[in-house]
Amino acid sequence: MIDTPSRSLPFGTLVAALVTPFTPDGAVDLEATAHLATKLVDDGCDGLVVSGTTGETSTLEDSEKEDLFRVVAETVGDRARVIAGTGTNHTSHSVEMARRAERAGAHAQLVVTPYYNKPSQAGVVAHFEAVAAATELPIMVYDIPGRAGIPIATDTMLRLAEHPRILALKDAKADFAAVTRVLAATDLDVYSGDDGLTLPWMAAGAVGVVSVSVHVATKAFRALVDAAAAGNLEEARRIHFQLDPVVRALMTHLQGAVSAKQVLHLQGVLPSPTVRLPLVEPDEQELAPVLADLADAGSVLPALDGGRGARA
């Protein structure tokens, strides 16, 4: 077990939004998944979200998700929290995925706001309560209006926090005032859902981050989260600035799963950067700004080789 303050937290503190490795022909690569999960935990992650946004959950079959939950739980479940991405925009489907996750050995679940439907806030509450009632798994609520189409209102979040199995919030709407109110008025463990906001959110009382960029600079993110948790803001600020080009590279030029897989492939971690349609791999011109930002990252980023060189 990693020796960090996160042992007692049901979701960890440094949580990777795990990519789903595919073979070149588009099949789920369970061997590569186990290898990646092991590496991330070895390097400092104490939580892994499996089949979340960055895991291309919308293009995975239910049976593939269950296989991923099981493989990751069997591989690192004694050393890190395995958080299953179970949320969909169909409540009964989400309930079914929660049950599959529990059977597969996941420790917790990430449940996103029902997307596309644009339910009322009452509908949002009813959705989360139905999923929470289906299993014993604790829930991290995922508030991401840019993808879901609606935000979770702060009053709604306060109401959800009263449920005994809704224990955390992944905030990806960058509303500091709303997060402050949740931190002040509830016992929820709050996580930054934006890699670049890890430090300010933790300075206000968040416990960590659910991150895409952590895939490629895990040890530096571990140091950032630990420094912020210890109240060493000078050290945390120094690492925050060092990580800025990594966050820019992974989060501003391409879709997160696409950029993360490209860099992991260049680092020699993933055998293939394959994504599933409608996502496509970038061409050289599209990849160039990612590599240009990474060139500014210095020692916080492991070498880009992957058998092809940095191409920068």
Give the residue numbers annotated as catalytic, written as ranges.
Answer: 142, 170
Q: Rounded to an integer, what distance in angstroms lies between the CA atom of residue 27 and that of residue 61?
A: 11
Q: Would you state the torsion angle of the CA atoms of residues 23, 29, 32, 34, taken in this order, to the nearest 10 degrees?
A: 170
Cβ contact 124:156 at 8 Å? yes
Q: Would you state the torsion angle of the CA atoms of residues 266, 267, 270, 271, taken in this order, to the nearest 10 degrees?
A: 60
Cβ contact 49:16 at 8 Å? yes
Residue 98 CA: distances (Å) to CA of 91, 151, 202, 214, 258: 10, 22, 29, 26, 27
What are the start-end ranges of the H helices in 163-217?
Answer: 176-185, 198-203
Q: Is 173 exposed, middle or buried (0-12, 13-18, 19+ CB in 10 A)?
A: middle
CB atoms within 10 A of CB 253: 18
Hey, what amino acid is at 159? R
Task: Round to the nearest angstrom and report the end-to-end CA distance of the chain.
Answer: 37
Eight-class DSSP state of 161:
T
